[in-house]
Amino acid sequence: PIVTHAYGIDAKEQGVGAKRHCRIKGLADVDEEITYWQEGYGFAYKSSPFSVIDDINASWWLTPLNDKLTRINLELSYQVKTGTFNYIYHALLLRKKLEAIFPHTLRALSEKLIKQKLIRPLRLQTLSDSAKATH
């Protein structure tokens, strides 16, 4: 899954209260609203419910590691709606789709920054890569 279309749904372009509509390929159409904004460091947003999940919150934070490296931290939290079918659907299918969003998103961001010559190419390390390296 990856965001294939996104557009603002109000006049505000950034900061708390800015809203956009996103189409996430193979998953859902959602509306997102910025709930916290710290210029140059990160932001948090809530997403409209879809499928069997509700109370969706996400955040992006930059952590400078040194003069040349910065870590991007992404977090996603949500609540599975009550019901046996919802829990089974989430466990068997939806969770895997949601987990796949982060590597795709980071690659797309990296490609955009490289294309704009804002960063030089580096190997992306995901949490699964880190786990493999420790075992």
Q: How large is the average pLDDT for residues 101-127?
A: 70
CATH code for the domain of 14: 3.30.530.20
Q: How many residues does the chain have?
A: 135
Q: What is the pLDDT of residues 26-47, one digit of tens each?
A: 888 999 999 999 998 999 999 9
Q: Are 57 and 46 in contact (CB under 8 A)?
A: yes
Q: Is residue 135, in this structure, part of any structural domain at all?
A: no
The structure tokens listed for 10 are 């109000």
Q: Is residue 40, in this structure, part of any structural domain at all?
A: yes
Mean pLDDT is lowest, of 29-38, 77-86, 118-127, for 118-127
Q: Is residue 134, in this structure, part of any structural domain at all?
A: no
Q: What range defines the domain where residue 70 resides?
A: 3-129
Instruction: Tell me how many domains the chain contains.
Output: 1
Q: What's the pLDDT score for residue 1?
A: 56
Q: Residue 84 — φ and ψ, nearest 5°?
A: -60, -50
Rg (alpha carbons) of the chain, rounded to whole number: 16
- Provide the pLDDT confidence category of residue 134 given band limits of 50, 70 and 90: very low
Higher pLDDT, 47 or 102: 47
Q: How large is the average pLDDT for residues 106-124?
A: 70
Residue with tokens 């932001």: 43
pTM: 0.74
Q: Are 25 and 1 in contact (CB under 8 A)?
A: yes
Q: Is residue 95, in this structure, part of any structural domain at all?
A: yes
Q: Is residue 51, in this structure, part of any structural domain at all?
A: yes
Sign of CA dihedral 98, 104, 108, 109: positive
